[in-house]
Structures are given as structure tokens and as C-alpha cells.
Amino acid sequence: MIIVASLCMTNAQAYERRFERGYETSRSAVHYDRARVVAVRPIRQVTRTAIPRQVCHHQQVQRSYREGADPGAYMITGTIIGGVLGNQIGRGSGRKAATVAGTALGAVIGHDMGRQRGHAQVHEYYPQRHCYTEHRYLEEEHIVAYRLTYVYRGREYTEEMDYDPGPYVQVRVNVAPVR
């Protein structure tokens, strides 16, 4: 029994020595093992999102216009009154000339009166709504991956993973002979 145990022990040690040197008895062997994680660094990405909002305010706006009778009405009235007065003042053959002169003078006086009295400049103020879009930006930082460094059989390796594996990471070991 002791001999069998020592033979098993010797075979196991020989296998272990072959495995350490990179030798394997079969053509190809895949197995899984654990490696110690020595560093984990999160890889971050910043996303910037625009959040639009409509901003409105009221502003006083001035509207100007002329109010009152049309100066043309004053001119027509002046023409009629001037013609009537010229007709009454004139005598004989001068009556036509006095009527024409009265009409022309009445039109000029009526037009001037219409400009002075008939049109007043009016200013009105009313609120007008003005709107525009304002953007506020929201920045968020997300972890998109993890860069980890691990040690397996004395060698250091670096990989990116989707998750933080913790203190150990499972590794796949593929052993094949060199040809």
C-alpha cells in the first residue's frame, strides 16, 4: 500500500513538473483556473444630454398711428367755403376770378388746418409675447468597462471586461504542443 501511494505521488509530481514546463500528455487540453486580480480601473464615459425648455416673456411694444379726421375732408370743406366767399365778394366779370381764387385759397387753408388739427399722433403700448428655446445640459458619467490587471503563474496580464470580477478572475487555459 505504501508502494502504491508513493508511485501515485511520484506520477503526480512528474505530471506537475511536465505541466510547469509546458508539456502535456494529450494533444490539446483546455481547463479553467483562477488568477489573482492585482488592479481594477473603471473606464468611464461622460454623456451630455441637452434638455430643451421654452422660455417666454412679455415685452411692451409701442404702436403709433395718426388719429382724427382726414386732411382731405378739411381741404374739401376749405375749397367749398373759399369758393362761396369768393363768389360773394366778386362782382360782375371779376366774380368768376374771385370764385376760383377763393376756391384755391380755401383748399390751401383747409389742408393746413387738417394737418394741424385733424391728425394727432397717438402712441399705444401693448404687451407682446416673445418665446425662445433655452437648453440646459445634463452631464452623466457612466462606467462602460473595467481594465483589470491579473497575475497567472507569475505573469501579469491586462484585459478589459464588462464587469468588476472582484479579487479573482476565472481564466481559460489552453495547452497544446508546439509543432
Q: Where are the domains positioned within the chain? A: 1-53+139-179
pLDDT of res. 165: 93
pLDDT of res. 5: 40
pLDDT of res. 117: 67
pLDDT of res. 120: 67
pLDDT of res. 150: 97
pLDDT of res. 13: 54
Radius of gyration of the chain (CA): 53
Q: What does pLDDT average to in each consecutive run of 10 residues of the chain (179 residues)?
A: 43 49 58 95 94 91 73 75 76 76 78 69 84 93 96 95 95 87
pLDDT of res. 21: 47
pLDDT of res. 153: 93
Cell of residue 55, nine digits? 422660455
Cell of residue 21, nine digits? 514546463
Amino acid occupying residue 105: L
Q: Is the dihedral of CA 129, 130, 132, 138 positive or negative?
A: negative
Its pTM stands at 0.41
pLDDT of res. 126: 85
pLDDT in tens, 126-144: 888 999 999 999 999 999 9
Give the helix/strand (H/E) hosting 173: strand 168-175
